[in-house]
C-alpha cells in the first residue's frame, strides 16, 4: 500500500468515526473530539517508530487549541465571503 493510499484510508477512517460519534451519541463537541482523538491514537499504536511518532503528533492538539483554530478559520472564511 502506498503512502497516499494509507493517508486516504486513514482520512476515511477519521471521517466515518467522526460521523458515527456525532450520530450515535449525544456527547458534547469536546467529548466527541476527545473520543475520536483517543481512538486515532490507538490506531497509531499499530505503526512503527517514526510513523508512530508522526501519527501521535497529529492527535496531540487539545480541544481548546482545536476550537480556537476552527473559529479562526470560520471567521476568515466569512470575511473572505463578504469581499
The pLDDT value recorded for residue 43 is 86
The pLDDT value recorded for residue 72 is 94
The pLDDT value recorded for residue 1 is 58
Low-confidence ranges of the chain (pLDDT < 50): 26
Domain boundaries, the chain: 3-82
Closest CA to 9 of 46, 49, 53, 61: 46
Q: Tell me the pTM.
A: 0.48
**What is the tens place of the pLDDT at every residue in 11-29?**
788 888 887 777 665 457 7
User: Among all chains, which residue has been given the C-alpha cell 503512502?
Assistant: 3
The pLDDT value recorded for residue 83 is 65
Amino acid at each position: 500500500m502506498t503512502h497516499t493510499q494509507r493517508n486516504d484510508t486513514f482520512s476515511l477512517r477519521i471521517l466515518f468515526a467522526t460521523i458515527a460519534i456525532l450520530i450515535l451519541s449525544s456527547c458534547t463537541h469536546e467529548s466527541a473530539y476527545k473520543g475520536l482523538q483517543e481512538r486515532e491514537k490507538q490506531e497509531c499504536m499499530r505503526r512503527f517508530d517514526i510513523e508512530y511518532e508522526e501519527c501521535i503528533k497529529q492527535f496531540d492538539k487539545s480541544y481548546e487549541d482545536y476550537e480556537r483554530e476552527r473559529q479562526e478559520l470560520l471567521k476568515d472564511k466569512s470575511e473572505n465571503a463578504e469581499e
